[in-house]
Structure 1
Amino acid sequence: MIQAPYGPQTLWPEHVLQHTEGSAFHPALSIPHAELILRKGFRRHIDSYSAFLENDHTTPTGLAGYLRERNLARLFLCGLAYDFCVRYSALDGHALGFETIVVEDATRPVNLGASIAETDEALAAVGVPRIASNTL
């Protein structure tokens, strides 16, 4: 953990590096209907957990505007990692006025310290529901 200009920052090992196999979509994933592939975490001076805002909590990624232009108001979030990227995306999506739902069994956590319990508490505190995928 270090103190960055925008606040505390966990230092992670290199992962999902641009232009590497680790950043590629799974070869079996077929999404010809996808309109947007949002890239985040590419700025050297700031990390990015949320799909909506960089970790300074002010620099937008453009996702909120993209969704609003299309009159999309409800989000179902899943993926990696439950206790970081999914958590901060859910909190920011909710704060930006979107109906936000986390599909919990379609996520996986890092489980760093008390990060899972803290995520559960943070989502509950603002009323973001966690559901199972079989309820969809």
Structure 2
Amino acid sequence: MPGAVARDDAVAEAVSDEATAGGEAAAEAAADDKEAEDGPVFEVSDRRGSITADRDGVRFRLDDQEAEFHWDEIGAVEVKTPRFGRRFTVTVHMSTRRWFNAEVEASARSNLKQWAEELDAVLDVYFEES
């Protein structure tokens, strides 16, 4: 029965290939579902800090310090781009009348307008003014 063993090996290999292809397809589908579930994300950074806005809220990081603000505690988000210079500033105004800001330096002034538009797209999805 040497032919039966060879055929069983071929069947096992075909099943293994299908499982691998199915696993890859499932992983891609899961990644697509996660991206659709998470929605848009805004993230910019420079050598010292970063500004991130996603489905959880807004996060500022500067060196080893980090501040996180959830959407339900944010009263307003303000974006400032200077007339001259390359600093992109985001200010989060809390409902408790406090505010916090973070700055990121762009590599080129042309990035500032693009960043403002990208952040607006995220704010349109997640932020609801009350």
Could you state the TM-score of these two structures normalised by the residue count of structure 2?
0.26
Which has more helix, going by share of residues?
2
Which has more strand, going by share of residues?
2
Q: Who wins on radius of gyration, i.e. which is larger?
A: 2
